[in-house]
Amino acid sequence: MCGIIAYAGEKDGREIVLKGLKKLDYRGYDSWGIAGISEEKIWLHKTTGTVNTDLVGGPSNITIGHTRWATTGRVNKANAHPQLSNDNKIALVHNGIIDNYLKIKDNLTRKGYEFSSETDTETIPNLIQSHMEGKKEGFIEAFRETLKELQGSYAIAAINNNTLAFARQDSPLVIGVGEKEIYIASDTSPFLDKTNKVIFLDEGDWGYYKDGELAIFDSKDNKKEIKAEEIKWQQEDEHTKKQDFPHYMLKEIYEQPNTILKSAEQPNLEEAKQAIKESSEIFLTGSGTSYNACLAASSFFSKQGKRATPILASEHQDIEHFFDNTKTMIIVSQSGETADLIEVVDKAKAKDVRIIGIINVPGSTLWRKSDIVLGMNAGQEIGVASTKAYTATLIIFSKLTGKQTNEQELSNYLTQKIKPWHSQVKELIKKINKDLFIIGRGEAVSYAKETALKVKEVSYIRAEGMAGGELKHGTLALIEENTPVIAITTPKTRQDLVNNALEIRSRGGYIIGIDKEKQECYDYFIPCKYPILSVIPGQLLAYELSISKGYNPDKPRNLAKSVTVK
């Protein structure tokens, strides 16, 4: 989703910001822009499409940049950020949504302000300008006044003269602290190669950098002590370079023999297990792929005699009233910044529910909100479609629930199988062009849903993942001659699932079995000894379908890596 990177210091910030924008690429965006101040005047460059790192504007010690994923207003140059104030003295970038922007816009219009974009963001620099009117100085005061009037979510960086101001409310913003310079960004990725000293802003924090001084205030305007943490998570080349792979998605799929091993290293595991043991009820919460992992976890827990309820982060309204201090919520998030999940976590924390976070990005908002963290250890995931984070999460859940999993065995098996699976799915893509169904039972419902999500995301083919037993209750009506159906089995559910596959086959469906052993009813067979790995052929299939259609699987249309709006 939208990304911010700003620089203030003694260097020319243009290259830093442009390269930073490139590093924010992975979040997904449709337009971008940069602004700086040269010879006391603001310059601005913005456009739709991909970030180009050729220098624009003039040398600038304070520079802001933004990648936009459209929310309010279409994808075009006018709506890209930075947005300027009417007097061209303030440039501002914003992530989030200002709920009351129409009212603000209306008031400003009545005062004679003009607007050249459809965005909510453009109201902010103009509101700041209006608070500065009649005052010679006062950008910082006007910035603060403006924040008080904004309703909604925001991460903001704004420049005026020699000042860079920033604020955060329900949208992530972090500060990188260097030698006589600072970086403001939506996550640490655009500046970690420059400094690993990071200040994580809390909700409602705001501040500025001016004449070499960094000041941060809380929501009640108390000045905060400047205390940077050292972040250990370097974005090593191992994770940020594609190496010999044509796409990050493929590289990340192939990394799984290694990430599976890394995810099993959990120093806080015993503490988390104890917390679970003491809890009267367990909730499992996440969105998208992370929620799909929760579905498998629910089955793992149940096999160990513990009930754990999976809840979509965006659908927590009906369970909120069950929150209390005897309960534990296990949250899953690759980015650690998903707005839907942050909302439910805040509600749970307010009622003293204990939070165990399975999070990939160290220092992210959800990482810091968790009482106990089990890091996914998957390394940065750049492809928008989550792959290695899902299997890393499954391994952590298997450890947490005491499922007998030997990750070394899994890793060895995967190393052996990944290439043959890849060749097999290349044969399969000609069978799939319209609809695809994926069925499973028990924990494999999670694998079926996750396979479907991958296929939808990157190949834009309609795919439905579901419980095999549900087919005959409606979806079977969609099965025609040669409709492809993937059946993912587990030892316990094999017989029932095979029966479901037979029902499909008798109606002409084409059955692709992902199973330990070939069954008579499979038209095509992909051997997989361990159900916990059975999503991986599906990840490869999704990738190859995307390639066969000429799409870029790393950047699926309309999607963003880090979903920071509700």
Q: Does residue number 153 form part of the binding site for ligand F6R (CB under 6 A)?
A: no
CA gap 307, 197 in Å, rounded: 41
Q: Count of CB atoms within 10 A of residue 444's CB?
A: 31
2 noted as active-site residue: yes
CB of 406 to ligand F6R, least distance (A): 26
561 noted as active-site residue: yes
| Helix or strand (DSSP H, E) at 466 | strand 462-467
Query: Which range binds ligand F6R by CB under 6 A, 38-46, 283-291, 500-508, 540-548?
Result: 283-291
Q: Does residue number 386 form part of the binding site for ligand F6R (CB under 6 A)?
A: yes
Identified binder of ligand F6R from the candidate list 121, 188, 287, 451, rule CB under 6 A: 287
The answer to whether the beta carbons of residues 444 and 452 sit under 8 Å apart is no
Q: Name residues contacting ligand F6R, limited to 314-353 (CB under 6 A).
A: 333-335, 338, 341
Identified catalytic residue from 2, 294, 521, 528: 2
| Contacting residues for 347 by C-beta, under 8 A, at least 6 apart | 316, 320, 323
The residue number with the shortest CB distance to ligand F6R is 288
Nearer to ligand F6R, 167 or 382 (CB): 382
What is the x/- site pattern for ligand F6R, positions 454-473, by CB under 6 A? ---x----------------
- The two structure tokens encoding residue 243: 């190496």
Nearer to ligand F6R, 96 or 288 (CB): 288
Q: Which amino acid is at 65?
A: G
Nearer to ligand F6R, 260 or 342 (CB): 342
CA gap 435, 399 in Å, rounded: 36
Q: Which amino acid is at 259?
A: T
Q: Which amino acid is at 217?
A: F
The residues that bridge with 48 in the sheet, in sequence order, are 31
- The two structure tokens encoding residue 334: 């690759």
Q: Does residue number 253 form part of the binding site for ligand F6R (CB under 6 A)?
A: no
Nearer to ligand F6R, 173 or 560 (CB): 560
- The two structure tokens encoding residue 59: 């040398």
Q: Where are the alpha helices (DSSP H) in 316-378?
A: 339-350, 365-369
Identified catalytic residue from 22, 399, 454, 561: 561
CB of 218 to ligand F6R, least distance (A): 26
CB of 341 to ligand F6R, least distance (A): 6
CB of 376 to ligand F6R, least distance (A): 9
Q: Name residues contacting ligand F6R, limited to 506-565 (CB under 6 A).
A: 563
Nearer to ligand F6R, 279 or 334 (CB): 334
Nearest CA-CA partner of 207 in 8, 67, 19: 8
Identified binder of ligand F6R from the candidate list 175, 378, 385, 418, rule CB under 6 A: 385
**Residue 353 to residues 56, 276, 280, 281, Cα–Cα distance (Å):** 50, 12, 11, 10
Counting beta carbons within 10 angstroms of the beta carbon of residue 218, is it exposed (0 to 12), middle (13 to 18) or buried (19 or more)? middle
Nearer to ligand F6R, 338 or 490 (CB): 338
Eight-state DSSP code of residue 477: G
CB of 446 to ligand F6R, least distance (A): 13
**Residue 75 to residues 84, 128, 534, Cα–Cα distance (Å):** 17, 25, 38
Active site residues: 2, 561
Binding site for ligand F6R (CB under 6 A): 287-290, 333-335, 338, 341, 385-386, 453, 457, 563
